[in-house]
């Protein structure tokens, strides 16, 4: 959890003193904490205590010109991985359930794009009151997470439910919440089935030098691999695209690493591990010239030079047998004959989970073209898709991979 950022809203409850210890426990685990103190909260703990323990300025006012100039309230609501309310007063829960935004804390709760974890704390009659019950029900339905409250002796002398969870219980709930994707998509936004996942895609050809000016290449354009990287990013994944020399632009929202040779591509892929998914769409040269030539080869009386070829590293097989093997390893098979037979053999030989096979005979126009006809070959069988534009193949493939991941995890 090192490096995770928590926005802690401290409400006006008697348990506010525990939020000071909570800050320490979170920071011990490498998280940074930015605190927001309600006006009532400041009756219980001082901004100075919170500032000293968080090591950061404490935010209290919605209408503060100086604070807005430093960090606006919208930015403040987004600049965290998780929002935590501790103590969450009956009043804060009521405001959040109603969507009120009449002070800094309630405005942040309405404006944030991150999950909110509430640790309620109140007198048992306040907690059991039908109004609070309704509010909690509404907030759960809206996606708010809750930890506690527990049963116990209260500061007011009564006994029952309403006691705020202990700091370490809240820390455990924070850690659990941070394991998933904590970003809330905009209502009506496209689903992001790969949110929180890391995907590595290779794309394009590789260039294997013959001498300083000549190289061995192939006709791969990178259009399919780049479209897959872009589709994965649109599905919410963090994407590293390792691209050979291509003329297509780097996709938006993707970290693109440019390489030339197969060996450089392998190095970049290994550096990008670990990942949840690997899609090897690049047309990696099987061979390279064995002996490195420093000077340009010249015509001469001895006739054409013979290029002694040696095998390149097998990137797909290396990733599939890697100590940091991604949960899903997908290869591409570009064939000109017996497409499915060769893909099935490749699936076994390379120990991957899925082969996307396509016919790259010149007549198909696939290499460098804008459309593709693919067959998905796995242990489960062969699925043939109709001819589609490459971006559509990419989107369908990403949806298929997301479904495979979720099925795998659901069944585990
Ligand atoms: C001594 C004292 C203790 C309080 N403790 C709580 C409490 O534990 N939980 C709660 O919901 N409200 C409690 N309140 C009431 C809140 O402070 C009050 O509703 C306030 O408006 C909450 O503001 P806030 O939600 O903006 O922090 C307490 C009030 C006082 C005077």
In this structure, which residue's CA is closest to atom 28 in ligand 1? 13
Best of 8, 11, 12, 87 for a ligand 1 pocket test (most atoms within 8 Å of beta carbon): 12
Rounded to an integer, what distance in angstroms lies between the CA atom of residue 278 and that of residue 327? 8
Q: Measure CA 126 to chain center.
A: 39
- pLDDT averaged over the chain? 92
Which residues form the pocket of ligand 1, taking CB atoms under 6 Å from any ligand atom? 11-15, 38, 40-41, 87, 89-92, 121-122, 126
Backbone angles phi, psi at 342, to 5 degrees: -65, -35
Rounded to an integer, what distance in angstroms lies between the CA atom of residue 358 and that of residue 220? 13
Show the tokens assigned to 213: 């000016």
Nearest to 152 by CA among 129, 133, 127, 182: 127
pLDDT, tens digit, 9 for 90 and up, residues 113-152: 999 999 999 999 999 999 999 999 999 999 999 998 998 8
pLDDT at 189: 76
Ligand 1: distance of its center to the CA of 316 in Å? 60
Range name among 18-22, 67-71, 77-81, 330-334 with the lowest pLDDT average = 67-71
Rounded to an integer, what distance in angstroms lies between the CA atom of residue 171 and that of residue 173? 5
Backbone angles phi, psi at 4, to 5 degrees: -70, 145
Per-residue pLDDT averaged across 23-51, rounded?
97
Per-residue pLDDT averaged across 378-392, rounded?
92
Rounded to an integer, what distance in angstroms lies between the CA atom of residue 107 and that of residue 71? 14
Q: Is the pTM of this model over 0.85?
A: no
- Considering 128, 153, 156, 403, which one is annotated as catalytic? 156
Q: Kindly report the number of other CB atoms within 10 A of residue 302's CB atom.
A: 6
Best of 13, 127, 128 for a ligand 1 pocket test (most atoms within 8 Å of beta carbon): 13
pLDDT at 300: 87
Ligand 1: distance of its center to the CA of 41 in Å? 8
Answer yes or no: 352 catalytic.
no
Rounded to an integer, what distance in angstroms lies between the CA atom of residue 240 and that of residue 199? 6
Ligand 1: distance of its center to the CA of 278 in Å? 51
pLDDT at 389: 92
Rounded to an integer, what distance in angstroms lies between the CA atom of residue 321 and that of residue 315? 10
pLDDT at 412: 47
3-class secondary-structure state, position 262: helix
Give the pLDDT band of residue 411 (cuts 50, 70, 90).
low
188: Cβ–Cβ under 8 A, 6 or more apart, which residues?
A: none
3-class secondary-structure state, position 183: strand
Ligand 1: distance of its center to the CA of 108 in Å? 19
Domains defined for the chain, CATH in brackets: 5-179 (3.40.50.1950), 198-411 (3.40.50.10300)
In this structure, which residue's CA is closest to atom 9 in ligand 1? 122
């Amino acid at each position: 959890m090192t490096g995770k950022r928590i926005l802690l809203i401290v409400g006006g409850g008697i348990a506010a003193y525990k939020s000071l210890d909570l800050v320490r426990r979170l920071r011990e685990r490498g998280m940074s904490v930015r605190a927001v103190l309600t006006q009532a909260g400041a009756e219980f703990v001082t901004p100075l205590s919170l500032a000293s323990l968080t090591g950061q300025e404490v935010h209290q006012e919605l209408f503060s010109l100086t604070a807005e100039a430093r960090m606006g309230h919208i930015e403040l609501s987004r600049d965290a991985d998780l929002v935590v309310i501790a103590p969450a007063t009956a009043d804060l829960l009521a405001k959040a359930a109603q969507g009120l935004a009449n002070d800094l804390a309630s405005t942040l709760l309405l404006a944030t794009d991150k999950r909110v974890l509430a640790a309620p704390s109140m007198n048992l009659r306040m907690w059991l009151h039908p109004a609070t019950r309704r509010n909690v029900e509404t907030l759960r339905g809206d996606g708010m997470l809750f930890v506690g409250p527990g049963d116990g002796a209260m500061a007011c002398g009564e006994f029952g439910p309403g006691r705020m969870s202990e700091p370490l219980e809240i820390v455990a709930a924070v850690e659990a919440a941070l394991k998933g994707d904590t970003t809330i998509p905009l209502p009506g936004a496209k689903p992001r089935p790969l949110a929180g996942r890391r995907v590595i895609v290779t794309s394009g050809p590789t260039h294997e030098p013959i001498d300083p000016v000549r190289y061995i290449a192939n006709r791969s354009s990178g259009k399919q691999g780049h479209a897959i990287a872009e589709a994965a990013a649109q599905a919410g994944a963090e994407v590293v695209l390792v691209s050979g020399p291509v003329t297509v632009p780097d996709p938006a929202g993707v970290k693109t690493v440019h390489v030339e040779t197969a060996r450089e591509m392998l190095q970049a892929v290994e550096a990008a591990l670990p990942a949840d998914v690997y899609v090897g769409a690049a047309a990696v040269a099987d061979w390279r010239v064995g002996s490195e030539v420093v000077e340009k080869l010249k015509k001469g009386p001895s006739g054409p030079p013979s290029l002694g070829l040696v095998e390149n590293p097998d990137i797909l097989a290396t990733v599939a047998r890697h100590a940091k093997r991604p949960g899903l390893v997908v290869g591409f098979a570009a064939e000109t004959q017996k497409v499915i037979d060769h893909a099935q053999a490749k699936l076994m030989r390379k120990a991957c989970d899925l082969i996307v096979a396509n016919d790259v005979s010149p007549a198909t126009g696939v290499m460098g073209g804008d459309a593709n006809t693919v067959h998905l070959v796995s242990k489960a069988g062969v699925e043939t898709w109709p001819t589609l534009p490459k971006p559509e193949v990419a989107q369908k493939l990403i949806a298929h991979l997301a479904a495979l991941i979720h099925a795998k995890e659901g069944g585990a």
